[in-house]
Structure 1
Amino acid sequence: MKILKRDSNEPEALELMNELSQILEKITGSSGRGSFNIEDVRSPRSLFAVAYLQEEAVGCGAIRPIDETTAEVKRMYARLSGKGIGSALLNYLETEARKMGYTKLILETRVINRKAVLFYESKSYKRIQNYGKYANRPESVCFEKKLVD
């Protein structure tokens, strides 16, 4: 598997994000499109990444800045389950975030999306009070992970 930085406007990136939106719509009733703007990951100190297996795009993930020390994980998706794609992508995003000077990652998912909740908990993400537009939204659950020891 290889993971590469990509422009979020490239066809394979858009295809993966559209698949993710369709899946989220089925699971949660919301595509998540309203919480993500492609331009968010084209700004400084942000990135969009695509995972490849044998030259096929099989997953994506992004980080965007919240403030000087915090970035937000967005659009995490693995087309294939059980292949370690999500873990590899998240590890890549964490490594790149450290290189960019971030000391913490945060993210939001939906409580009903149990697979995502369990995934982030298994990767040492801790539940935090819902932030930003997710505050006072009981359907949301927010997480953070400190990137420094």
Structure 2
Amino acid sequence: MTSEPAVGQLRFVAVGQDDPLAAPLIDELAVEYAERYGGNRTRVHTWLRSYPSEEFDPPDGGLFIGLLDDEPVTGGAFRRFDDTTAELKRIWTDHRHRRRGHGQNLVRHLEGEIVRRGYSRIYLTTGDRQPEAEALYLSLGYQRLAEPLPAEEVYPIAFVKAVGTAGPDR
């Protein structure tokens, strides 16, 4: 028998990019990126939504929202970077719920999903105006790289972490 989490306990649900539960993640990230890096919120929102949603679909990816009493408070995604590496994307915690461990719980949940999918490494990039993100990744054992790996988009701060073991299909 599966039990529901107690009131006030974070639970994660898998969603698609167009799921209404994912809307706060995309909306608040657009505002935050526009404020931190200078830009138009609408353009940033369009850019965030420009990723093909199938990149975050199983079996190669996933998008998860953390709910607290059925309210979306944290979320993030991963997609295939290469045969053995998943890439974290869109790590977010609602500004009203920060500094409560939700971001750490989210990344740990994503790591578990990534290992279950057979990946052995996690890669991510973040901007140079997000010291909170950098501190989060360092606290969770990610190693900062001297420069980002070759990819379609490049942010100045890159991290990598070895996880689990590669499965037979990777």
TM-score of the two chains, using structure 2 as the length reference: 0.78
The runs of 5 or more residues in structure 2 that have no matched partner are 1-9, 166-170
| Structure label with greater radius of gyration | 2
Query: Over aligned residues, Cα RMSD in angstroms?
Result: 2.0
Q: In the alignment, does 2:135 pair up with 1:126?
A: no
What is the total number of aligned residue pairs between the two structures? 146
| Residue of structure 2 in register with 1:142 after alignment | 158
Deviation at 1:58, TM superposition (A): 0.7
CA distance in 2, matches of 1:84, 1:126: 20
Q: Does 1:54 align with 2:72?
A: no
Structure 1 residue runs of 4+, over 3 Å off?
A: 30-36
SS in 2 for 1:44: coil
Q: Normalised by the size of structure 1, how large is the TM-score?
A: 0.88
Q: Is it true that 1:111 corresponds to 2:111 in the alignment?
A: no
Contact 1:98 1:147 in 2 (8 A): yes
1:133 Cα offset (Å): 3.5
Matches within 5 A, 1:1-149: 1-29=10-38, 31=44, 34=47, 37=51, 38-42=53-57, 44-79=59-94, 80-128=97-145, 129-131=147-149, 132-134=151-153, 140-148=156-164
Contact 1:109-1:116 within 8 A present in 2 as well: yes
Whole-angstrom distance in 1 between the partners of 2:45 and 2:78: 15
- Change beyond 3 A, Cα 1:39–1:21: farther
Structure 1 unaligned residues grouped into runs of 5+ = none
CA-CA distance at 1:43 after TM superposition: 5.2
Instruction: Quote how far apart the aligned CAs of 1:9 are.
Output: 0.9
